[in-house]
A and B are shown apart, each in its own frame.
Chain A
Amino acid sequence: MPLAVAAFVFVLLPLGLSLAGSGYLFRLAVVTLIFAILALSMQLITGVAGLLSLGHAAIYGVGAYTAAILATRLGLDAALTIPLSGLVSGLVGIALALPTMRLVSIYFAVATLGLGEMIYVTLLNWVSFTKGPLGIGAIPPLRPLGIDLSGPLATYLFVAVITAFAAVVVHRCAHSYYGNALRAVREDDQCADAMGLNVVRLKIEVFAIACFLAGLAGALWAHTTGYVNPADFRFAESILILAMVVVGGLGSVPGAIIGAALLLLLPEALRAVGEVRILMVGAVMFLCILFLPKGLFGEVSALDLARRQFGAAWQPERGLGWR
């Protein structure tokens, strides 16, 4: 099965796209892969560890801006900017996680929403550093170690390799005793605590790993697009990533990738119908929750998770809020 997927992603799809000879289709494939990385990292936080983070796009933005600034101001090579973006995003993730990880359920979601918007406002207003609403342009395309990967096929293959790396990382984290520990945190964090798991540490670790991956996605976005703008890293983007995870199925690695492909390609396929397509994406999500409560491949129902996040807020005896 993994071999078939690899053959499709690395051979069949690029072959087909080359034959079609369209830069637009390659661009679409690259953006889909970047969002697949984002959905994979979100899957680790929300699907596996059960933390509803609403600031994921901001972390992705931190990665994109790190790459953009390092590449345009310091002229750093993509072989450096990409891992450094991951690192910076991972560190920002840890910095955000430290004060919020003791928050329970919906309080955590609201805190990450607020922190995400703070990052957006910083990107927007710190004009001397980020060029504010103008965004940063003229970011050099992918030329890691002097190897020119700026052609559509080479760019696609490079992004596909990093997506595969992200998939392996998330798969290994999710399918191991470590993944079971994370699932226990999702199912009942108090009980996981009583079973000897250091829940706060687990949450911070998983947040750091996921934010590292989101940072990689951001760097790839910056280098392949050539331009970053704060508006690309707002709350709506976080919700889109969350929707990919929910449609694909909470807790499933292939689900995250297919969810990303579905929610990105569907609006493109529906371009002909005009602005109504946004409504149709909403309808897909709605129908998905209604008829596929566990998404395409999920192990938990999204409504269940939401109910736990929101419902729990009305149970004072469970010790919610600060703990």
Chain B
Amino acid sequence: MPALLEIDRVTRRFGGLTAVDDVSGHVREGELVGLIGPNGAGKTTLFNVICGFTPPSSGEVRFAGTRISGLKPWRICRLGIGRTFQNLRVFPNMTVFDNVSVGAAGREGHSPLDALWRSAAARERSAAISRRSWAALERTGLADVAGELAANLSYGRRKYLEIARALATGPRLLVLDEPAAGLNDTETQALARFITSLAAEGLTILLVEHDMGLVMSICQRVMVLASGRKIADGTPEEVQRDEAVLEAYLGVAEEGA
């Protein structure tokens, strides 16, 4: 059986800079995989290639056996890849519920006729979007602030709002872009428990992180990027012992000594 997400020799160049250089990898159904690397390793570029924001210069990405590179982001989302953004992109002038309903509408589809003519089918779709939104809000513990403007939420809760919105798109694979960035230790631990619980429910998760601690503590498998290349792929223990990884993160031994 092919893996859920297959990254097949993906290269992405920006002018003379090769941000992602011939990277291959995969995420199997039900796995919680980490993608780490130092700053500038190409994590975000690879992430954008997976989600359709940047087409690869060569190579391709397959999801559940179908080629997704070259598709528009909304198509990729509807195939079942939900994402969050590193630099929090909630819709600030909309309520928490409305934010999440956007993801749900992305899953259920949208038509202006539903708004103009409230037929039985239109009401059914509205109800389905509303149910899906509430489920995502309950799951992330945001139901009590559903009526608040997203802009009024604390930074930490906006992170959960991003995850709730992504969950509302009904993903088979959830891709989180640096979810722990800007959180303190307590918040990071709570987030780690939350991500683990999502994975325990059978959701496949790809966690892109800058910080090693979170990834090493919760992921089953870790892929390491450095200077655009994949330098390691294995369990957290294997990766932590890997010479190349230590070198990329800590510099060569002579310098460290």
A residues adjacent to B (C-beta < 8 A): 169, 172-173, 176-181, 183-184, 187-188, 190-199, 202, 205-206, 209, 251, 299-300
Contacts and interface: CB of A to CB of B under 8 A. Distances in A.
A177 B105 contact: yes
B53 A183 contact: no
B106 A191 contact: no
B91 A196 contact: no
Given A177-B114, A195-B169, 10 more contacts: A169-B116, A172-B115, A177-B101, A177-B129, A194-B73, A196-B77, A197-B102, A197-B106, A198-B74, A202-B110
B200 to A, nearest CB: 25
A320 B130 CA distance: 33
Interface in B167-222: 169
B104 A173 contact: no
Interface of B is mostly: helix
B74 A193 contact: yes
Nearest to A175: B115
Nearest to B112: A205
Contacts of B13: none
Contacts of A193: 72-74
A184 B91 contact: yes
B152 interface: no
Interface of B: 51, 53, 72-74, 77-78, 83, 85, 89, 91-94, 98-99, 101-107, 110-112, 114-116, 118, 125-126, 129-130, 165-166, 169
Contacts, number: 99
Contact of B104 (A177, A178, A202, A206): A177
Given A195-B165, A197-B102, A187 B92 contact: yes
A182 B126 CA distance: 15
Nearest to A206: B112
Nearest to B113: A178
B112 A178 contact: yes
A194 B106 CA distance: 9
CB-CB nearest 5 A-B residue pairs: A196-B106, A187-B91, A196-B77, A178-B115, A176-B115
B105 A180 contact: yes
Given A178-B114, A180-B98, A184-B91, A195 B106 contact: yes
Contacts of A188: 89, 91
Given A177-B101, A177-B105, A191 B85 contact: yes
10 contacts: A169-B116, A172-B115, A177-B110, A177-B114, A178-B111, A183-B94, A184-B99, A187-B92, A196-B105, A196-B106
A197 B73 CA distance: 9
A187 B93 contact: yes
Contacts of A197: 74, 102, 105-106, 110
A300 B89 CA distance: 16
A181 B169 CA distance: 13
B74 A187 contact: no
A52 B196 CA distance: 44
Given A180-B102, A188-B91, A197-B106, A173 B73 contact: no
Nearest to A50: B93
Contacts of A195: 74, 77, 102-103, 106, 165-166, 169
A192 to B, nearest CB: 6
